Amino acid sequence: MSERTEFEAGRPVVLRGGTVLPMDGGRTVLERTDVLVTGDRIAAVGPDLEAPEDAVTIDASDGIVMPGMIDTHRHMWQTALRGYGADWTLTQYFVWFYLEHGKLFRPEDIYAGNTLAAIEALDAGVTTVVDWSHGLQTVDHADAAVDALQEVPGRYVLAYGNIQQPPAEWTAAPEFRDFVARRITGDDLLGFQLAFDVLGDPAFPEKPAFEVARELDVPVTTHAGVWGATSDDGIRLMYEHGFMTPRTIYVHAASLSADSYHRIAATGGSVSVSTESEQSAGQGYPPTWAVRAHGIPVSLSMDTSVWWSGDLFSAMRTTLGADRSREHLEAHAKGDTVTHCGLRADQVVDWATRGGAHALGRDDLGVIAPGKKADLVLIKNDRSPVSFPVLNPYGHVAFQAQRGDVHTVLVNGRVVKHEHELLGVDLTAARRQVERTVEYLRSEMGEDAWNKGMNPDIPATKILDNPYTYTDYRSDATHRL
C-alpha cells in the first residue's frame, strides 16, 4: 500500500498555477491560478496565493484543476464482474442478475465489488458515487456494502435496494430500520437514499416504500423510462400520489412521453443520464436532447462496470456524441442542416460536476470556490502527447482527457491520489477479494452456464419474457421475485 507522509491529515494543500475550471455556471477559465485547501474546504482561489507555512505544494502548471466528478448512478456491487456482460442487452442483464444468478452473491461478494468500484472511481477522479445497491438481499449484505464504502476514501451515497423482494416488503422489515439507525449516522461522506422502481401496476404497490422514504426524510432514486420495464405509468402514479420531489433522481428517463418530462420538470427532480448504458442495453435513446428541451437538470452516470468502466470522461464524451448525433439526425430527416451544436463541451463538464451536486442537493460540491468542500481533481500528464496544447480546457476535459491523465485527487481536503498513484488504498487486497468472488460464482454456476452467460447467442434462440416482474399484474408473468 502506498503511503505519502507529506500528505498527513490536516495539513493544508496548495495547487499552484493550474488552469482552474470553477464551474460557476459560465464558461469561466482561470489561467495560472492557485487553489488553497485547509481542512476539508477550499480556503482561497486566485493567482499567487499566500499559503500557510506548513502547506504542501502541488505543481498544477500545465494541468487542469476541476471539481471532483459525481456519478449519480452506479451498481457498485457488480464491479466484481467487470466486463462480463460486454455483449449483453438489458434483457440478458435482467435474466442474469434478477432471475438466475443475482441471488448467489454473498455479503463478501458485495464487499468485493463495492471495494473495487470505489477504488476505480477515485482513480478516475470521481469523488462522489451514488451506489444504487440493489443486491442487498439481507442486512448483512448491506453492512458489507457500507463497510467497503467506509474503508475506501471517497464520498458515497448508499442507495439501498433489494431486487429479490418487493420494495414495500424490504422497507418494512425491522432489520432494515435497525440498519438505518446503526449505519446511517449523518457522516458527511456517506449519504443515503432508497432505490427501487415503479413498474406501473395500477394498484401502486410501491406506495408504502415511498412512505418509508418520506418518513426517513431520504430521497428515492428510480429507474424511469426504461424500455420494456418502466414507463409513463410509473411516473404518473408517483405524480398522482405526491411522491415526485426535487430530490428524486430519475435514472435513464429514456423512453418517456412529453407528459412525464413535464411532470419531472414541474416537480424539480433531476435525470441521471447513463449514455453508454442506454446506447448498448436499450433503455431508450440517451435522453439529453429531449430532457434539455424541458429544462430538466441533468447529471451523468456509468450504471455498471459489468459493461463499461466507471469513469466519467467516457460519459461526457459519449453524451456529447449521442446528443449531437440525434440533433443532426433529426435535422437531416427534415432536410435541414445543423450549423451550430446545441450541446457544448462545457455543459457536459458541468453535468459531471455541478449537475451531480445539484441532484444530490449538495451546493457545497461540484464547484471550486472558497468555502466549498475540497473535492478536487488535477488533470495533468507530462508524459502524454495528448496533454498539450490545452487551448479549450472544457473541450479538453470532454474529448481529450482520460482516466490515466488524473494526476491528483482530493476528497474532503485529503489527498487520495498523487502523481498518478492512489494513496491509502490496498489494490492487492481488493484484487484477492474479487478473485475469490469470481472463483465462487464460476464454480456455483458451472463452467457451461458461466460461459453461456458471457457469450449470448446470436441471434436470440428463445423469446424471453420481460423478467422484471416482482409484481405479477402483467397477466401471466410466471416469475415473482
Contacts with Zn ion by CB under 5 A lie at 303
The sign of the CA dihedral 61, 414, 309, 320 is: negative
In whole angstroms, what is the distance from residue 124 CA to residue 352 CA? Answer: 12
User: Rounded to the nearest whole angstrom, what is the least distance from the CB of residue 161 to Zn ion in the complex?
Assistant: 10
Closer residue to Zn ion in complex, CB, 33/272? 272
DSSP line for 125-188: TEEEEEEEETB-SSHHHHHHHHHHHHHSSSEEEEEE-BTTS-HHHHTT-HHHHHHHHHH-S--T
Least distance from C-beta 217 to Zn ion, angstroms? Answer: 24
Task: Give ∠ CA 93-438-453 in degrees, rounded to 5.
Answer: 35
Compare residues 37 and 158 and give the one whose CB is closer to Zn ion.
158
Query: What is each CA distance from 364 to 67, 131, 187, 369, in whole angstroms?
Result: 11, 20, 15, 9
Pairwise CA distance, residues 147 & 234, whole Å: 33
Residue 197 CB, nearest distance to Zn ion (Å)? Answer: 9
* 331 close to 325: Cβ distance less than 8 angstroms: no
Across the strands, what pairs with 377?
66, 409
Contacts of 425 (CB under 8 A, 6+ apart): 1, 2, 119, 122, 152, 153, 416
CA distances from 336 to 14, 329, 333, 351, 354 (A): 50, 9, 7, 28, 33
Which one, 19 or 301, has the nearer CB to Zn ion? Answer: 301
Please report how close the Cβ of residue 27 comes to Zn ion at its closest, in angstroms. 31
Quickly count: other Cβ atoms within 10 Å of residue 263's Cβ: 21
CB of 100 to Zn ion, least distance (A): 18
Pick between residue 303 and residue 311 the one whose CB is nearest to Zn ion. 303
Residue 413, SS3 per DSSP: coil
**All three cell numbers of 460:** 436470440
Kindly state the smallest distance separating residue 218's Cβ from Zn ion, in Å: 18
Whole-number minimum distance, CB 128 to Zn ion, in Å? 17
Q: Which CB sits closer to Zn ion, 303 or 323?
A: 303
Does residue 74 sit in helix, strand or coil? strand
Nearest to Zn ion of 133, 408 (CB atom) = 133
Residue length of the chain? 481
Position with the least CB separation from Zn ion: 303
Nearest-approach distance from CB 252 to Zn ion, in angstroms: 7
**In the complex, least distance from residue 242 CB atom to Zn ion, rounded to whole angstroms:** 25
Q: Which is nearer to Zn ion, 34 or 131 (CB)?
A: 131
Please state the closest distance from residue 132 (CB atom) to Zn ion, in A: 6
Residue (232 or 303) nearer to Zn ion, CB: 303
Nearer to Zn ion, 34 or 276 (CB): 276
What are the cell numbers at 395? 473541450
Cβ atoms of residues 46 and 2 within 8 Å: no
Nearer to Zn ion, 120 or 303 (CB): 303
